[in-house]
Structure 1
């Protein structure tokens, strides 16, 4: 299901057919370094991970992390979306790209679309975001969106502290 369009991207719900892409994405060095290692090593693992992490949120919350599909050719380049983590008091913005698509402005474009969606369609007053402590590219992106750093916290499910950000919508 299509969620929103940006100039170059369509953000849509992931489907089971996207398992090969998800397997690749969650095993990218940047994902492993800056997010976590979900232990996804096979297509079956990717499907189980997608069910618990993506599809369940779509059903229960009506939002989640969405596929970033380039409009010009339909290629999947990453994910971006809105998610409510138990460890944070407000929903948060998250994103990840395949390394081959970094540096082209896709993350910022998708994140801007998601912030507008949270404000205009969902009516949320606040949005949060987290990054790894040493992730200057994400910190810079969040700054461009107007997020303010709140400090560092040890969040459940992460091996080290995370930098926490907040944006009033």
Structure 2
């Protein structure tokens, strides 16, 4: 699979429906994923493969970007996902990420999301990106603010009814270190 970007410790690469289905199944069913992102109803390896094919891999062809597997460079351990999503309900691509619980608290999320944002700015030449976050997710809010995103308002994204904090960053006004 194509490597999109590398950092000191991590590699972000395109997800592959067959190769990454088991790891994605685990991630999609973690309690923190359900609490902060939502339950996608994926319970089997077959559903995880279809989820990756239909929602993630299709984004590469449709938009030229998407979510990427986060791998540790030293041992290729699968840590989670990070990248950009294109939703009809938002005016620009938004940052998405999630790590398996056993890999949180080690700075991987910040390193991966910083690389994804730099990729959006430097390679994709996007003028800005946004992020949505559950207001009670203090760790994600700190991460977004550390990267230079600013809270704009609160929004409800259809078809849901949950109020989400909406953050943006303009790349011509603020830079994210690569």
Structure-2-length-normalised TM-score:
0.93
Q: Matches of 2:53 and 2:109 in 1, distance apart?
A: 24
Q: Which runs of 5+ in 1 are unaligned?
A: none
Aligned length: 169
- The residue aligned with 1:63 is 65
Q: Matches of 1:64 and 1:84 in 2, distance apart?
A: 8
Q: CA RMSD in A?
A: 0.9
Alignment of 1:7-156 (within 5 A): 7-15=8-16, 16-156=18-158
What are the superposed Cα offsets for residues 81-104 of structure 1, whole Å, 9 maximum, x if unpaired?
Answer: 011111100111111000000010
Structure-1-length-normalised TM-score:
0.97
Alignment of 1:156-167 (within 5 A): 156-167=158-169
Q: Matches of 2:118 and 2:88 in 1, distance apart?
A: 23
- The residue aligned with 2:176 is none
What are the superposed Cα offsets for residues 57-111 of structure 1, whole Å, 9 maximum, x if unpaired?
Answer: 0111111000000001000001000111111001111110000000100010011
Deviation at 1:51, TM superposition (A): 1.2
Q: Which runs of 5+ in 2 are unaligned?
A: 172-178
**Aligned partners of 1:36 and 1:158 also within 8 Å:** no
